[in-house]
Amino acid sequence: MQVAASLRNLCCSFSRRDQISLICRRHLKMSCQAALSPLVRSPGWCFVLSPHAIAAISRFYLPHRTKSLRNESIRCWSNIPFITMPLSRAHGKSFAHRSELKHAKRIVVKLGSAVVTRGDECGLALGRLASIVEQVSVLQNQGREMMIVTSGAVAFGKQRLRHEILLSQSVRQALHSGQSQLKDMAIPVLEARACAAAGQSGLMALYEAMFTQYSICAAQILVTNLDFHDEQKRRNLNGTLHELLRMNIVPIINTNDAVVPPPEPNSDLQGVNVISVKDNDSLAARLAVEMKTDLLIVLSDVEGLFNSPPGSDDAKLIDIFYPGDQQSVTFGTKSRVGMGGMEAKVKAALWALQGGTSVVIANGTHPKISGHVITDIVEGKKVGTFFSEVKPAGPTVEQQGEMSRAGGRTLAALQPEQRAEIIYRLADLLTDQREEILLANKKDLEEAENKGRLALPLLKRLSLSTSKLNSLAIGLRQIAASSQDSVGRIIRRTRIAKDLELEQVTVPIGVLLVIFESRPDCLPQVSALAIASGNGLLLKGGKEAAYSNQILHHLTQEALSIHGVKDAVQLVNTREEVEDLCRLDKLIDLIIPRGSSQLVRNIQKAAKGIPVMGHSEGICHVYVDTDASVEKVTRIIRDSKCEYPAACNALETLLIHRDLLRTPLFDQIIDMLRVEQVKIHAGPKFASYLTFSPSEVKSLRTEYGDLECCIEVVDGVQEAVEHIHKYGSSHTDVIITENEKTAEFFLQHVDSACVFWNASTRFSDGYRFGLGAEVGISTSRIHARGPVGIEGLLTTKWLLRGDNHVVSDFSDQGSMKYLHESLPLPHRNTS
């Protein structure tokens, strides 16, 4: 009783049933369970312990565990949110969008036979099963109510029975045969019900052992059709499941295959209130509706639902499936194991959806995704096929990608003058529709200021003005004028042999995905460059610029319409997450992020099989040499740091030659930075020279993006180059000196996209380079580097024109010889 009293004192709060019960009674010894039993079983109540209470119970009641295991357990439980997750919701309507799945509280995970069993169908895929248990445990420990509908008893039983039969046969043959060599032993066909009977206990013991590793209790429930069709049994089943969930126990449900009768074909799915449990797909659907679950996850051995059998040439994965779309799908054969196929899964999913449960069908066997497929689905990521009753107003992003590719190909086929005409028209619209654009931008600014979600530098990027629109229009006209000879330009001609000529010509890359933040002026710039280079374009802007982006995209499509290529540029307005867009490798050929360094890093990490053009950081250096001009130094440093400190090409680290310390020039630099209110951080060497130094820099590899910079001391140009290579980001670096030899050494040895002599870092810009505009600045070493204009959005293809040429003619016994003569290029129109 003292133990019971102690535990009662440890209880820190109580809550109603719709809150989260955080501690499973399995953690406590029998005496503790007896003391807490009345408390736990009180109708509608659960108990909650504080993290300190958990630690105390773990130390006192788990003495048999090692210290490290106790600590690990404590950390795990202590990270669970206590009475803070608003997961409960009114049931009756399924989620409309994937992004809402994170609010699912009660979840059923259905594991198909192909997921649970090995490839030889004799035994379980233990590694895969362990990963699934881990994911379910993570969600359970978040306060969700998890249930598993599992297959695998037949396969597990088949493995056990095969072993027993082989052992029995070998013993009999050894006893009745005088020969030492045993005859070949044939294994009889094993009846499925017998296999299920032999495998159920072992399967449940395996689940129990796995869930125990995460301090979670599991309970087995075997059901048949009668348990749903008999009203009393149905109520009993419902009550048992609710009681288990209330006690934070994961129910493991399976059909009782040891006694279940053979399924009747086409006897199920007659209506909302009638469904025959003939396989685990229909069982999971029936259970999900009975228990009013928020989400049903059906794991199989395919990525989801395809419009035709997976593996066929035209098969495409369906991202979202709507009721009534069955006519657009051709179903194939069922999986290698199990009773159902994809058609059965779709029927069951639609039945559950009609009953108010959201459904996702996904792959639970793929080694690259099975370790996080369940948690990814709950987080709203684009995995598998999501069943929804709400059709979007516009096209899906996949449809937009296809429209963009088709429109881009038509755009590339236009004459250069026609593409230029579209860009000129867009430039005119930016000035003609100035008032409408600024009014939409004002709405964005007011919303951002009211919500307070943007910092001042981002608000400046978001803001449009008459002067900005005029500059945009000028830049677009530059692009139009310089794009006349971009697509289809011959860059190499070679005579391979007589009457066999080879050409290398420029062509568009394909479909570009440009993701940008807080910069609506980016939309017409990038659109013009895509039009000039004949590329299709998908644009994903930040929600903070929604009104501005909408009107600018409308004007872009209006300009494209004069030559019937309106679909070439698409604005993604759906709820697609950036990470999901980065997985569309069959629709997108190049991703170009425009925004913060964090955005660029996230996209580079998320991109799956799609190249990313950009830079993750803009750590730009200015090196002041001993031969620097006093007049030039302060002007260049001020412009590089203070003209627009949030830009990626702004100065972040100032390198000073050691001999300039304690000179009038150095004092002028410091005074200027103080006047401009630039906060100075001292590098390690610079700090060592000072008695009272500014705050020492935490890292020499820092992009401040504000009126801050680091000052460091170097012994000369060689050390300056080494410092830049070690701490820079290969963006833009500058030397200020009057010594031409020193300058050339710097220009030739600094390995950055842009290297300047006696010029501000801010010149690293497509408009200032005369490119008209830029889609971004690339620090990669492949394809394009530095400010990327039209040329960076082109690739090449080879054209070979012959006359009945075959390779065998060029063999040793052939009649022809290779010439490989370089031919002059046609005159390029630069007007």
pLDDT tens digit sequence for 757-812: 999 999 999 888 988 778 888 888 888 888 888 999 999 999 999 999 999 999 98
pLDDT band at residue 100, thresholds of 50, 70 and 90? very high
Q: Which residues are bridge partners to 298 per DSSP?
A: 110, 361
The least confident of 239-243, 562-566, 595-599 is 595-599
Nearest one of 318, 770, 775 to 512, comparing CA atoms? 775
Which one is predicted more confidently, 231 or 267? 231
Measured in residues, the chain has a length of 831
Q: What's the whole-number mean pLDDT along residues 406-417?
A: 95
Kind of pairing between the strands at 11-16 and 708-714: unpaired
Q: What's the whole-number mean pLDDT along residues 502-510?
A: 96
Cα distance between the two ends of the chain: 96
**Residues 794, 490 contacting (CB under 8 angstroms):** no
> What pLDDT is stored for residue 344 in this prediction?
82
pLDDT band at residue 590, thresholds of 50, 70 and 90? very high
Q: Could you give phi then psi for residue 707, rounded to 5 degrees? A: -80, 65
What pLDDT digit, counting tens, does each position of 436-477 carry? 999 999 999 999 888 877 777 778 889 999 999 999 999 999
Q: Could you give phi then psi for residue 185, rounded to 5 degrees? A: -105, 120
Question: In which element (H, E) is residue 495 found?
Answer: strand 490-497
**Residues 650, 644 contacting (CB under 8 angstroms):** yes
343, burial (CB in 10 Å: exposed 0-12, middle 13-18, buried 19+): middle
Q: What's the whole-number mean pLDDT along residues 660-670?
A: 95
Q: What's the whole-number mean pLDDT along residues 707-724?
A: 97
**Residues 394, 154 contacting (CB under 8 angstroms):** no
> What pLDDT is stored for residue 363 in this prediction?
93
Give percent of the chain with pLDDT exceeding 90: 50
**E strand intervals along 103-154:** 106-111, 145-150
Assigned token pair, 247:
């006690």
The least confident of 40-49, 284-293, 674-683 is 40-49
The least confident of 177-186, 741-750, 776-785 is 177-186
Helix (H, G, I), strand (E, B) or coil at 508: strand
Directed axis angle between helix 416-432 and helix 522-533, to 10°? 170
pLDDT band at residue 57, thresholds of 50, 70 and 90? very low
Which one is predicted more confidently, 178 or 808? 808
Task: Please tell me the distance from the alpha carbon of residue 810 to that of residue 766, in angstroms, as a whole number.
Answer: 47
**Residues 809, 816 contacting (CB under 8 angstroms):** yes
Helix (H, G, I), strand (E, B) or coil at 337: coil
Q: What's the whole-number mean pLDDT along residues 592-614?
A: 84
Q: What's the whole-number mean pLDDT along residues 2-21?
A: 38
Q: Is the pLDDT of residue 510 over 50?
A: yes
What pLDDT digit, counting tens, does each position of 257-294 carry? 767 665 554 444 344 344 455 578 888 999 999 999 99
Q: Is the pLDDT of residue 247 over 50?
A: yes
Question: In which element (H, E) is residue 363 found?
Answer: strand 358-363
Q: What's the whole-number mean pLDDT along residues 584-590?
A: 91
> What pLDDT is stored for residue 177 in this prediction?
58
Q: Quote the mean pLDDT of the chain.
A: 82
Contacts of residue 127, Cβ cutoff 8 Å, sequence gap at least 6: none
Give percent of the chain with pLDDT exceeding 70: 81
**Residues 549, 525 contacting (CB under 8 angstroms):** no
Q: Is the pLDDT of residue 336 over 70?
A: no
